[in-house]
Amino acid sequence: MQQQEQFMSAGWQLETRNGTLPDFGPIWWKTEEDGARRFAFRVENSHTDAQNTLSNSALLAFADHYVGSAATTDETISLVTIQLETSFITPAFVGEIVEGQAKISGKDGKLVYLAGSACVGDRVVSRSAGIWKILSPR
C-alpha cells in the first residue's frame, strides 16, 4: 500500500487499460503538460536477473507498453507491435523507479513509428524505437 500512496500523492494513476501486463506488477502513468503520457514502475525482486539488476526481459515488456502507448490515447484503438528495438544502457536496481516516455516519430497509413527512453532519475536505462500497426477500433 505504501507504493500506491507514494505514486498517487505524486499525481500518478494506476494503469488499468486492456493489454496491461497483469503479472508484471503495477504500472503507473501521468499526463505531462504537453499532453504526453509518462509511465513508471518500481523495480521489484520479481523483475531481476542473476546479477540482481532489472532483467532485460522485464525492461522489454515495459518498453513495449510505454512506447506503444504513445501511439494513441484513444482506448478504442487496437495496436500490435511490429518491431521493437531496445538498447540497454545502464542497470536499474530493486527499489528504483523506472520511468518511460515515448513520442511519435512518424506515421505511414496504419503504421506508427515511435521512439522513447526509460530512465531512473536522470540516468538513462534504455532507449527503444519501434513500429506499431493500428488494427481497428475495439
**Secondary structure, 3-state, the chain:** CHHHHHHHHCCCEECCCCCCCCCCCCCEEEECCCCCEEEEEECCHHHECCCCEECHHHHHHHHHHHHHHCCCCCCCEEEEEEEEEEEECCCCECCCEEEEEEEEEEEECCEEEEEEEEEECCEEEEEEEEEEEEEEEC
- For residue 56, pLDDT beyond 80: yes
Q: What is the pTM of this model?
A: 0.90
- For residue 129, what pLDDT is reported? 98
Rounded to an integer, the average pLDDT of 79-89 is 96
Average pLDDT over all residues of the chain: 90
What percent of the chain stands above pLDDT 90?
66
Rounded to an integer, the average pLDDT of 1-8 is 75
**pLDDT tens-digit map of 92-112:** 999 999 999 999 999 999 999
For residues 30 and 75, which has the higher predicted lDDT (pLDDT)? 30
User: Looking at domain 2-137, which of 3.30.450.40, 1.10.10.60, 3.10.129.10, 3.40.462.40 is its CATH number?
Assistant: 3.10.129.10
- For residue 7, what pLDDT is reported? 82
- For residue 110, what pLDDT is reported? 93
- For residue 108, what pLDDT is reported? 94
- For residue 22, what pLDDT is reported? 66
